[in-house]
Structure 1
Amino acid sequence: MAVAALWSVAALALAGFILVELYRDTVERAFDSQLEVYQKAIIGAMAPTDGSTINRPENLGEPRFNLPLSGWYWTIADWPNWRIVHASGSLVGDMLLVPPLAYGQRTGGGFATGPGGEELRVSQRIISFDGKTYLIAVGGKTEGLRKDLAAFTGQVALTLAVFGLGLVAAVLLQVRFGLLPIRRMQQSLAAVRNGEAERIDEDLPRELAPLAVELNALIRSNAEVVDRARTHVGNLAHALKTPLSVLSNEAALSDDAFARKVSEQAGLMRTQVDHHLERARQAAQRRVIGVATPVEPVLARLLRAMTRIHDARGLAFDSQLEPGIRFRGEQQDLEDLAGNLIDNACKWADMRVEVTARLLPGATPERTLFEIIVEDDGPGLTEAERREAVKRGRRLDESVPGTGLGLSIVADLVALYGGSFELGEAEIGGLKARLVLPATPAGG
């Protein structure tokens, strides 16, 4: 639009300049032709009748030559002495200052200065009668010519301005309506990315339909790759866990040092296998296109489950869940993330667990974020302990059941989604865990 507007302005300005110059040239040529007609009438009227002296032109058919200071004048002068022989009555004894002719030049024109300093356009010619040479100059004021030219310039500017605005409006409509299919395609692709559709609408103009077909093929290929990755992860899990279980069971039958070492190393191997298989599953799921999960129902369901699990302890759960938030990812990942944090808070809480979910301000169509905050009123952690807690397999208290993988899995999974995870001090006295994750745009 900017290029089209600039080009239109430049082209129309150039066209207007050319039209005005052509009109100026035409008007000046017509004016000069009129002066030449008067000049020829003067030559015809001054021709000597007695063979000795020239006559004074009297009736030229133009009364303005006799009106004082009318703006129309003529003079007859000896050449090259510049002595005025005859002059129009309109000069009333004043002078007509004409530009000098070049050497050898017998005709000329241009602009001159008349009585009172007014601008004149003049025509000059040198003629000879019976051996005597005379310079005949005829001039007329350019005031009317200038007014006509100014009026024409204004009309041209107005006409071209209206035409230019119409041209820009036509380009604007053409661009807007011409790009509607691309906007439809953008909205369809956004719907797929936000999990509202599984494929892009292919009902598009023939120039864009092949692109939509290829994008749908890419989406299907992505889904197939994810399915194959999940299958391989599951197969690998079964293939490794069974031998490890056999080793642990065999080692448990003996109480010597070698059996204890085998049992210890098998446990470590099982921990490492669980961690890396979980990361592989997370990476595969993270690359799924077009998945969105409502946050409020998932968190509400997790809180109900934790209430039943920890019913004997009488924990109080307080939740503030903003409705309408949709996590840009799979439900299982959200359950793993929030479930690990809530379960960890329940294990360490004395009486109370608080869960908050809300959108973060500053959302854009390209990036929308929300946060999940889980707090407990337990003993909490020091800053050094908080750093240690997210390390893989690190358990700060061996008396509490668990593998030590929960918080490290949370940190890894959040990183895969491009979010953030931090531990801090809760306002109610214990540990505060904060997740920041991508969300689908509002209304998307």
Structure 2
Amino acid sequence: MVVAAAIWSAVALVFAGVVLTRLYNASVERSFDARLVVYQKALAGLVAATPEGDPPDVTTLGEPRFLLPLSGWYWVVRDPISREVRAMSRSLFGDVLDLGEPAHDGTVTAEYRTGPGNEELRVVSQVVEFDGGRSLDVVVAGNADEVKADMRSFSRSVFVTLAVFAAGLLFATIVQVRVGLRPLQQIGAALADIREGRADRLAGEMPSEIAPLSVELNALIDANRAVVERAQANVGNLAHALKTPLSVIVNETRSDGGPLAAKVLEQAEIMRGRIDSDLDRARAAAQRRTIGAASEVAPSLAGLAKVLRRAYPDPGVAIDIDCPPDLRVRVARSDLEEMVGNLLDNACKFGNGRVLVRARPIATGAASRAMIEIVVEDDGPGLAPELRREALARGRRLDESVPGSGLGLAIVEELVEAYGGTITLGAAGLGGLAVAVVLPRS
């Protein structure tokens, strides 16, 4: 909008400047020609009052420059047929004027000609009929420099004025566009607040042109929220409907021996694992699609550490936390605590009493999303590089001596991937395993 307005303003103002300059130039030429015509008429009157063959007395013309040599102001009386000069002003100083063909119909002509010293002259001429049947071409020329100087001065003034005016128009256009688009900027900022979890809908008064957009966006947000809530309710209902019968089946088969009971128990555990996996994935995907899902990292880490210190009192676990207090992650708090809780639980379970949790923002390129990294380290035996990928498999337990289902790391990986993050296993500085989780920053 600004560029289009600037181009149009420039074209319009240049056109206006050209038109104004040409109109002014024509006016100045008409005024100067009228002045020359007055001298030409006066000179014709003097020629008529002077006996034929005598030079007219031009001291009464009122222009002393006709008497000054090469002053730029000249007059000539010549025969229109033979072009023989009958009389000339003293200012010509014996020089001649380069004159064109006279108009024999008696009309006054005006044109630019080159005079002595290559100066530009404005020349007015007319063929005048005198008594006795004689006719003479009466020519008066004036220095065109003052006319041209006046035109150039006016042109500069016009274009300087129009340039200032153009700058003012451009500034006014920028202000107008910024003010006009401010409601869209407000909507953009409000949507960013919703995405970051600082608000749940668009608020505030909008101009009549933007108000329908705000209403439709709020309706879209409400519809999204309703869909997610229904999906979460269905997930909960499904979990209740399936897990309870499975628990009954598992309990009954455990109390009844025999190969059939063992086979049923094995398949029931497989079904329970698959149901847990699918329900976790569905819940994570639903919460990930909830607009505004965000949580603070430091309070969640502190709460998890407090719970795990109580869960492992003997011989005691030292959990150190290194996290900026204002760090936020674009993950639902329940999912964040489930991810980090599983990692901390494994670190406490397999470590030798010391756990370190570090959370920090990660520098990313301008085109990438802002991310944070949460690293959980322990001082246990760690994992060999070839076993680290295997440890993420659902239900795969690498250490059967420690109680557990083997689902922790697999659940963490599914949740992390559902939120568009990554998980990697490596060697810890404390000597054990280091699990790094990268998640989108809020």
Q: Tell me, yes or no, whether TM beats 0.5.
A: yes
Corresponding residue for 2:31? 30
Q: Is 2:103–2:126's contact at 8 Å kept on the other side of the alignment?
A: no
Corresponding residue for 2:420? 418
| Identity value in percent | 48
Alignment of 1:210-221 (within 5 A): 210-221=212-223
Corresponding residue for 2:56? 56
For the pair 1:197 / 2:199, whether they are aligned, the reply is yes
Query: d(CA) in 1 for partners of 2:440 and 2:427?
Result: 24
**1:273 Cα deviation (Å)?**
0.7
**1:315 Cα deviation (Å)?**
3.0
Residues 49, 223 of structure 1: CA spacing in aligned structure 2 closer, same or farther, 3 A cutoff? Answer: closer
- Deviations for 1:397-427, whole angstroms, at most 9, x for unmatched residues? 3333222222222222222222222222222
Corresponding residue for 2:75? 74
Which residue type is aligned with residue 350 of structure 2? W
Q: Is 1:45–1:55's contact at 8 Å kept on the other side of the alignment?
A: no
Q: CA RMSD in A?
A: 2.6
Q: Is 1:192–1:199's contact at 8 Å kept on the other side of the alignment?
A: yes
Query: d(CA) in 2 for partners of 1:322 and 1:344?
Result: 24
Residues 364, 219 of structure 1: CA spacing in aligned structure 2 closer, same or farther, 3 A cutoff? Answer: farther
**1:69 Cα deviation (Å)?**
1.7
Q: Is 2:391–2:397's contact at 8 Å kept on the other side of the alignment?
A: yes
- Deviations for 1:120-176, whole angstroms, at most 9, x for unmatched residues? 111233345556554333211112112211221222223223322332333233233
Q: Is 1:48–1:54's contact at 8 Å kept on the other side of the alignment?
A: no
Residues 134, 334 of structure 1: CA spacing in aligned structure 2 closer, same or farther, 3 A cutoff? Answer: same
Query: 3-state SS of the aligned residue for 2:389?
Result: helix
More deviation, 97-106/340-349: 97-106
TM-score w.r.t. the length of structure 2 is 0.90
Q: Is 1:392–1:404's contact at 8 Å kept on the other side of the alignment?
A: yes
TM-score w.r.t. the length of structure 1 is 0.90
Alignment of 1:259-270 (within 5 A): 259-270=261-272
**1:346 Cα deviation (Å)?**
1.8
Query: 3-state SS of the aligned residue for 1:126?
Result: strand
Query: d(CA) in 2 for partners of 1:365 and 1:214?
Result: 29
Query: d(CA) in 1 for partners of 2:278 and 2:92?
Result: 110
For the pair 1:19 / 2:20, whether they are aligned, the reply is yes
Q: Is 1:194–1:291's contact at 8 Å kept on the other side of the alignment?
A: yes
Runs of 5+ unmatched residues, structure 2: none
Which residue type is aligned with residue 61 of structure 2? L
**1:389 Cα deviation (Å)?**
2.1
- Deviations for 1:345-376, whole angstroms, at most 9, x for unmatched residues? 22221242110011223587994322111112
Alignment of 1:41-120 (within 5 A): 41-47=42-48, 53=53, 56=56, 58=58, 59-100=60-101, 108-120=109-121
Q: Is 1:390–1:407's contact at 8 Å kept on the other side of the alignment?
A: yes
Which residue type is aligned with residue 119 of structure 2? E
Runs of 5+ unmatched residues, structure 1: none
Corresponding residue for 1:323? 325
Alignment of 1:116-195 (within 5 A): 116-127=117-128, 129=130, 130=132, 134-195=136-197
**1:298 Cα deviation (Å)?**
0.3
Corresponding residue for 2:228? 226
Which residue type is aligned with residue 84 of structure 1? V
Query: d(CA) in 1 for partners of 2:381 and 2:133?
Result: 131
